[in-house]
A and B are shown apart, each in its own frame.
Chain A
Amino acid sequence: MENILLDIFFALLLFTVIVNLIRLWKPIKHGDFISSMLIIMAVITFIVMLVVRTSMGGRIPFANAYEFTLLFAGGVLILAILVRRDLVSPLFDLSVALLTILLLSVASSFSSEIRPLMPALQSGWLYAHVATAVIAYGSFALAACLGIIYLGRAQETDLSLPEVDERIYKLVVLGFTFLTIVIITGAVWAEEVWGSWWTWDPKETWSLVTWLVYAAYLHTRHSYDWKGNKSAWMVVIGFVIVMFTLFGVSVLLPGLHSYV
């Protein structure tokens, strides 16, 4: 059941990619509507998939690399629906769909077996930590998608660039606020479970690096009025670091945070 839903999810995203590639090549009638519908259907499939997995496992699927990556993919799509309001951009829809497909591919490289929670993960902090991580990293993902659009604007002449820039800024503020909560919930939880709120574990350290990069974005914007290209590059690079924190660290730099 879950696998069939995953296939449907994947197919809908593939259709989104195809539709938007065509739209980029030449505008089609009701193109934006078709793209919206495909994304909304993908989100519905994702939610059904979560419900199925929750009922099969007897717990909310928040606990391992597979489950987190799936949540991340779905979170990106849900946030995308909010961000793309009044923003007709095939390039945005295309980049969101491609990113989600990339995340699903990463998820499929992890074991999808439903395991019971180990003692360290049996805490209410798990849910706060993971849910805020999905919002934080989802915001940074969409900021990066908009950053790519900003930098590749030659494709779409009818886009208001200051408007895109403003949306990137708001996404970074949202992401930064939630990343702060992710780090704080992680620290409070670590104090509760490992007896130390900060141990310079690779995952911790890289989440701090990410936080510092986006803090630099906000300060350069507030104090030096950095906008446009420079800050668009910052959110793209910032997201590369986010992806490294999430997946690179787990593979290359194992530590205490070995669940994801």
Chain B
Amino acid sequence: MMINKWLKQLTQMLASMQTAIYLLLIVGVVSALGTFIPQGQTPTFYLQHYGRTTSMIINGLGLSNLYHVWWFQLLIILLCLSILVCAYRRLRWGKKISGLASLFMHLAIVFILIGALWSLGYSHSSFIEIARGQTIALNNYGFEEGQLKLNDFKIDYYPDFQPRQYTSDLSLINYHGKNIHQSISVNHPLKTGSLKIYQSTWGWAIQLTNLTGTTETIISLKDKDLFLLDEAQQVKVQAVFLPDFKDDKTGIQSKTPLPDHPHVWLTLLQQDKVVDMAIIPVGQEVQLGSYSLRFDTFYPYSGLQIKQDSGVYMVFAGFIILLAGLGIRYWFAFWGKKGAN
């Protein structure tokens, strides 16, 4: 049979240590190459930065997304198979403890890679921004169930106002029949089952009221963001939050990041040209061009990374087996049997 012969040849090739070492080095060289090419850009980006020929190679081979392109993953699968076959063959040669440890090390690496593939296929992650006091439904972001509420958010500073820690006080409600109340911070995510919630970013949000005309409308926007007031005329307002406003000869600035003297710097733009601007404290109204705006309040929002991933536990188990195998393998090689090497 043709296929049988072909399969036998493939197995023989994979069983050779030479193939394994070549695959190891090819994966190394290709991975290194990927660090020199900016990843995840559009085809036009490469055309502009690398010229016709090089960009054709990059786009054609999928080097713009190298670590996820099919042939790179095929390389890794081949390496996995080669590791499995080599480790199995070596086990048949000798059943000493160091040989067994070596087998486990190699199985652990395959285990880690399977875990990684699992995560690639079955993990889900989403970035959300949630204001203090707000509640969101997790199924709107592709997760099974539960509501998430940001009860409080705070930042601790060092004496020189460099941030020391960001902390979000969260309630996870009705998640698999549980209610969890926990404070998370950088390096201390919330973990329940395969769901993890990470403290990622933060910022200020501002609430204005548009008093122009007969009806009042509330405008909520993030610090430094633009809000479209009139689509036909292309009129926008930009709000920059100054938590500790100070105006002196050095210019407009915030003295500290603490909201001790909160002001908002509003800029009215038409067709992206500045029409008018003003700096006002909380509660004050201002006339900007033909618009009348009031600065109602400000509040922090928290940027959270939410992730559902069960593959990671397979990977971590692989790590433990790999370390144990490595330790036993070389412990026995050097100290278990003195003079063997």
Interface of A toward B, CB cutoff 8 Å = 115-116, 118-120, 122-123, 166, 169-170, 173, 176-177, 180-181, 184, 187-188, 191-198, 200, 202, 205-206, 208-209, 212-213, 215-216, 219-220, 223-224, 249, 253
Contact = CB atoms under 8 A, between A and B. Distances in A.
Nearest to A211: B28
A194 to B, nearest CB: 8
Contact of B36 (A180, A212, A253): A253
Q: Which 3 residue pairs are nearest across A and B when measured between Cβ atoms?
A: A119-B186, A212-B28, A202-B35
B12 to A, nearest CB: 16
Interface in B149-164: 158, 160, 162-164
B17 interface: yes
Nearest to A192: B187
Nearest to A212: B28
A212 B319 contact: no
B196 A184 contact: no
A192 B28 contact: no
Contacts of A213: 25, 28
Interface string B318-341: 010011001100100110000001
B187 A249 contact: no
B27 interface: yes
Interface residues of B, number: 44
A77 to B, nearest CB: 23
Looking at chain A's contact residues, the main secondary structure is helix
B35 A205 contact: yes
Given A173-B330, A188-B316, A200-B34, A212 B27 contact: yes
A223 B16 CA distance: 10
Contacts of A200: 31, 34, 39, 67
Nearest to A183: B319
Contacts of B333: 173
A115 B164 CA distance: 11
Nearest to A123: B187
B165 interface: yes
A192 B125 CA distance: 14
Given A202-B35, A209-B28, A219-B20, 20 more contacts: A116-B162, A118-B163, A119-B186, A123-B187, A176-B326, A177-B326, A177-B327, A180-B326, A191-B312, A193-B186, A195-B189, A195-B305, A198-B116, A200-B67, A205-B32, A205-B35, A208-B31, A213-B28, A215-B24, A219-B21
Contacts of B327: 177
Nearest to B185: A119
A122 B165 contact: yes
A166 B341 contact: yes
A196 B322 CA distance: 20
B35 A249 contact: yes
Given A118-B162, A216-B24, A223-B17, A170 B334 contact: yes
Interface in B136-185: 158, 160, 162-166, 185
